[in-house]
Structure 1
Amino acid sequence: MGSDGVVDVVVVGGGVVGLTTAIRLAERGLRVRVRSRDAVTGTTSAVAGALWWPYRIEPAAEVGAWSLASLRVYEELAADPAATGVRLVAGVHADTLLAGLGTWAGEIAGLRQLAPEEVPGPYAVGLAARLPLIDMPVHLGWLRARFEAAGGVVEQGAVRGLTEAGAGAAAGVTAPVVVNCTGLAARELVPDPGMRAVRGQLVLVENPGVDTWFTAADGASSETTYFFPQPGRLILGGTAQEGDERAEPDAATAAAIVARCARIRPEIARARVLGHRVGLRPAREGGVRIEAETLPGGGLLVHNYGHGGAGVTVAWGCADRTAELVLGS
């Protein structure tokens, strides 16, 4: 950023979508500033599990390509898991049929349908896969460092509106382009009445020796069952409660999560609880919105929001598409 305070792009939102988008723009030579209401480690992204998998996300015609673009990035980042927070870990998607997935599934090496006797728990079908599992606090820190290494600046503070962001995200800063990666806050800032919260609650426990992940997620149910082994903890989930914006963990919900996970791995029932987390997934009617519009003063506003519970899964693919709109290609 020049000493005159002028930047090329202000990205509003410091979660995984905002940071990956900012990286793509900064690494193409643009002067970029990220403006985030919350600290990077305090965003919804920091609460995520986070397993790569296109889950509860639309539009179907775009999601496959976005997801695969992100998968290729995570496969590269997994070469240095201590720094990036990304590891390739084996696991099982229960209650899932390969034939029911999109064409993107054919691009995942080693993805296979399991025989009924291979599926854990009370499930008749399932898939085996080795997929990126991301330790989000570590990964968000790595994303911020990569962005700053490319000359970017992160600042914390709320914006009153998206046009205000470009006119003065901070004293003396002007930018001709604003990128909206505000997640659920887009409901008020755009405003977009199609945005809705989908509440996810997690339980963190001491890992009793689980080294594979497991999911059983019925898209029509508010209850899901999954566990993800992360360094220093095992993450148990979960919920998908549409329209529920309670930020505090619910004790009965937590107990039910532990019980569901213990049906798959009984030793989980005895694991010491380390903590609880709640995140509000930013879902949107019609799915992800990536779109550019010209502002009355001639500036450019590019939207990249509405990723629901799959922001990590599509982050890099959506960042690439957003960068194309910013650069006019």
Structure 2
Amino acid sequence: MKDLNGKTAVLVTGGSGFIADHCIIKLLEQGYKVRTTLRSLNRQDEVKDMLRKGGIDAFEDLSFMEADLSKDNNWDKAVQGCTYVLHIASPTPIVNYKHEDEMIVPAKEGVLRVLRAARAARVKRVVLTSAYGAVGMGNINRTTPYTEKDWSNLKANLHPYQKSKTIAEKTAWEFISNEGAGLELSTVNPVAVMGPVLGTDYSHSNQVVKKMLEGEIGACPKVYCCHVDVRDVADLHLLAMTHPNANGERFLATTGNALSMLDVANILKKNLGETAAKVPTRELPNWFVRTAAIFNPSLRVNMQKRVGIKRSSYLSGHPALVKK
């Protein structure tokens, strides 16, 4: 499907987001026509400023559409004429939530709105940005490597954000199987996403680094995590969008070995000099983090369920980035 200018059109949901901006940059660089959704069109100039920081200086192939995942309005118009959809927008973790449905319901209903609109518009393929949180959470004493065939355990005591990612992705695959009418789907499941920050919306992993640099974190919880560069994640989205063999596949996105939070701190210290003067150099015992998380909602979101997991578990649980 081509637009009137002979270019393939792609809808990117959530155009102000960290991953979405880098995907838009890749798409524009490769000659696609891009339409992106925003909850408010007041952010158009902000998005363009972010894209300029990423190297884009022409916007004739970029347009904006106001659309909210919690509402039906405009989704049919947003996908009209598009060959592909990158559904990247998703509710972010809420620290002080009253009920898990505050994260689960918008994620599930949002993905269904996008898929229904895409099916009606005869879109070829949707790429859903899922997460490692939909693959390897809540599985106790796992000793074998996680793969794209694995799912997080919804019966475990998952944080609502991880639960929302799992339910939203499962919902997407069920829709394709039962109601897709030929619509194709692939998903990208990244671990902690790092990389160049172009604006005010960026990954929670980058937020942790920011807090470390600003001295807001006095010591490092003893937790491990794998990381992936946002530019690699963007490349993977485009491959998942166009490669014939990507239809029906999930793609875990990660690079390198698991790093402890103290490892990250030491890397910052080594490479950033005085800029990293406030970065912590000591590690907190697990019991302290678990106790502190009782009183600190932010720790409950990010740390409490990860303390005590060995580095080797993360190494076995995060396959290398594979571009199929």
TM-score by length of 2: 0.34
Which one has the bigger helix percentage?
2
- Greater strand share, 1 or 2? 1
Higher RCO (C-alpha 8 Å, min separation 6): 1
Give TM-score scaled by structure 1 length.
0.33
